[in-house]
Amino acid sequence: MHVRKVGILTGGGDCPGLNAVIRAVVTRAEQLGIEVLGVRGGWRGFLENDTEELSRQRTRGILDAGGTILGTTRTNPFQVKGGPERVEAAFSAWALDGLIAVGGEGTLSLATKFHERGLRVVGVPKTIDNDLSGTEVTFGFDTAISVATEAIDRLRTTAEAHERVMVVEVMGRNAGWIAVQAGLAGGADVIAIPERPTTVDDICKVVLTRRAEGKTFSIVVIAEGALVQERGASEAHLVVSNKSPDAFGRPRLGGVGAYVAREIEELTGIESRVTVLGHVQRGGTPTARDRVLALRYGVKAIETIAEGASGVMMALRADEIIAVPLVDATRERKLVDEPWIRLCDVFTDVLWAKRRTSPPTST
Ligand code: F6P
């Protein structure tokens, strides 16, 4: 079948590099004689007939721009009455031969469902958390760790000047990739991640051990989704400051860093501060690496859909962009695994409790 017109949407949380993907799709599509229709606000655009024609002219000058010119939401048509049918009706009304869905786990799960219902859909993996399986890396991750590393570098000098403990809370809901890689790059003393529950006592022991060894300051990098056992609690759990869930019923993350900094100060007597990097990690211009990765994903996505494929996602494997089944990306999360934990353990104390047996006591 000849592909004449393809839609593109960006869904879920935004991510540096989304505009580079859009630019790549539109540029290559023009060369292939394919029209591109931008669907605005993720799947919401299908439900509200909100679209814009995308031309090469419209996508000039956006390569280095953060955010997404198409806007994004976490709209789930399957939670809207008649939603899936409305998406299918719009798909036909707009005469689309295919759709490129750029997003993380949520968006790609929906892409899979629509593929199973008969629409031609190809996915492009996006998330700063880098927790999608099927691909070695998602675009946006490199930017996030660069921003986080720069922040840690800056915090180190002020930590040293004041002989303080600096707790840096980074993003990472289910996976600690940002904490691990920015923590390693920034020379952290402690890296706390969702995959390895930790206790406040363990973190304090590391801080005191480093002091006993002569280091006058400490950097604690903690993922917002880290599981921490509070004093007196029987097990580790999420620590959040805002108890009300987000629009999807998920815990609204944020607050573990402040909690840990408070506890360190109280238990060790060492002055501690917290910095929450939050959405700074997601905003602004993508790194060169993310731009190039996003361009590669975009070109491959439009070429793949032009060949008539569906139900696949673009993936980076051994430095090649290939198409893998969409279900591979969403079946399970890519979590920080043992080789990375072992690497962290060389430089930090993520597995502190297992590694040392006689911690110094607080004075
Ligand atoms: O999934 C990417 C991510 O940045 C997570 O690290 C974070 O928990 C979440 O999005 C924050 O989402 P929101 O934009 O809804 O605050």
The domain segmentation of the chain, as residue ranges, is: 5-139+283-331, 145-281+337-355
Average pLDDT of 207-226? 95
Residue 255 contacts by C-beta under 8 Å, 6 or more apart in sequence?
Answer: 239, 240, 241, 242
Confidence (pLDDT) at 362: 37
Question: Does the CB atom of residue 286 touch ligand 1 within 6 A?
Answer: no
- Span 112-159, pLDDT tens digits: 999 999 999 999 999 999 999 999 999 999 999 999 999 999 999 999
Measured from the Cα of 253, ligand 1's closest atom is 8
DSSP codes of every residue in 252-306: ----HHHHHHHHHHHHH---EEEEE-GGGGTSSPPPHHHHHHHHHHHHHHHHHHH
Measured from the Cα of 128, ligand 1's closest atom is 2
Measured CA to CA, the distance from residue 322 to residue 299 in angstroms comes to 11
- Span 164-188, pLDDT tens digits: 999 999 999 999 999 999 999 999 9
**Structure tokens given for 168:** 């840096």
Rounded to the nearest angstrom, the distance between the alpha carbon of 9 and the centre of ligand 1 is: 18
> What's the gap between Cα 88 and its chain centre?
29
Question: Is the separation of the CB atoms in 189 and 203 below 8 Å?
Answer: no
Architecture per CATH, 5-139+283-331:
3-Layer(aba) Sandwich (3.40)
Question: Is the separation of the CB atoms in 305 and 115 below 8 Å?
Answer: no
Confidence (pLDDT) at 355: 46
Average pLDDT of 97-114? 96
Rounded to the nearest angstrom, the distance between the alpha carbon of 38 and the centre of ligand 1 is: 23
Neighbouring CB atoms inside 10 A of 44's CB total 20
Question: Does the CB atom of residue 74 touch ligand 1 within 6 A?
Answer: no
- Span 4-50, pLDDT tens digits: 999 999 999 999 999 999 999 999 999 999 999 999 999 999 999 99
Confidence (pLDDT) at 349: 67
Task: Please check whether the two domains, 5-139+283-331 and 145-281+337-355, share a CATH topology.
Answer: yes
Pocket test for ligand 1, best of 107, 280, 282, 335 (most atoms within 8 A of CB): 282
Pocket test for ligand 1, best of 72, 74, 109, 128 (most atoms within 8 A of CB): 128
Residues marked active site are found at 129
Strand order in the sheet with 165-170: 190-192, 218-223, 165-170, 272-276
Confidence (pLDDT) at 357: 41
Question: Does the CB atom of residue 253 touch ligand 1 within 6 A?
Answer: yes
Confidence band, pLDDT 50/70/90 cuts, at residue 247 = low
Q: What are phi and psi of 44, to 5 degrees?
A: -55, -40
The CATH number for 145-281+337-355, chosen from 3.40.50.460, 3.40.50.180, 1.10.3720.10, 3.30.530.20, is 3.40.50.460
Question: Does the CB atom of residue 178 touch ligand 1 within 6 A?
Answer: no
Measured from the Cα of 173, ligand 1's closest atom is 8
Confidence (pLDDT) at 298: 98
Question: Is the separation of the CB atoms in 193 and 181 below 8 Å?
Answer: no
If we measure between CA atoms, which residue out of 29, 27, 35, 34 comes closest to residue 53?
Answer: 35
- What single-letter amino acid sits at 47? L
**Structure tokens given for 174:** 């289910």
3-state SS assignment for residue 51: strand
Rounded to the nearest angstrom, the distance between the alpha carbon of 130 and the centre of ligand 1 is: 12
- Span 273-294, pLDDT tens digits: 999 999 999 999 999 999 999 9
Confidence (pLDDT) at 350: 52
**Which residue, by CA, sits nearest to atom 13 of ligand 1?**
13
Burial class (CB in 10 A: 0-12, 13-18, 19+), 300: buried
**Which residue, by CA, sits nearest to atom 8 of ligand 1?**
173
Rounded to the nearest angstrom, the distance between the alpha carbon of 147 and the centre of ligand 1 is: 16
